[in-house]
Amino acid sequence: MSIGQLSKIYKDLKENLDSCKINTAKSFGVNKTDLFSEWIHGLSIIRNICAHHGRLWNKSIPVNMFSWNKTQPINNFLSKSLITNYPSNPNKLYAPICCIQYLLDIIEPSNNFRDKLKTLFQKHPFVDEKNMGFPRNWDREQFWNKVF
């Protein structure tokens, strides 16, 4: 089953009839099923772009994976803290990368994704992080400097 199919199945689960939807989201540290559904959908889009050798670095993703508002920041819906310095454009690559790191921390706490990401930017210092939606000083956030 593809991640796209999983995304559609998860979205179609009825929250009030089946606790499976709520339990699945909570097992990944997300306490809002709509938010988790957006994450899965967004990740399926990213996966498809990568699988078909598409350009991703400055692409606008048609899913707002940081669907929050000023009164309820995204961290209110997560079991662990995400970022506090939100990007000005949540439809760029930074938001999905944050979600990937968050999910990896749940699935495999000793993952090295954040180190590989930082090394990649160090290796390519002329890459325009702003075009990918990365806010200024993103790498100074506690989220990106966790030690396990």
Where in the chain are the domains? 3-145
- Whether residue 94 is predicted with pLDDT greater than 70 in this model: the reply is yes
Question: pLDDT at residue 74 above 90?
Answer: no
Query: pLDDT by residue (tens digit) across 111-128?
Result: 999 999 999 999 999 998
Looking at the DSSP bridge assignments, the partners of residue 72 are 69
Q: Indicate the DSSP class of residue 78.
A: B
Can you read off the two tokens belonging to residue 17? 């009839």
Structure tokens at 130: 């702003």
Counting residues of the chain whose pLDDT is more than 70, the rounded percentage is 93
pTM of the prediction?
A: 0.89
Answer whether residue 148 shows pLDDT above 80.
no
At 63, is the pLDDT very low, low, confident or very high (cuts 50, 70, 90)?
confident
Question: What value does the mean pLDDT take over residues 23-42?
Answer: 92
Q: What angle do CA 89, 59, 42 make, to 5 degrees?
A: 75
Four-residue CA torsion sign, 75, 109, 41, 134: positive
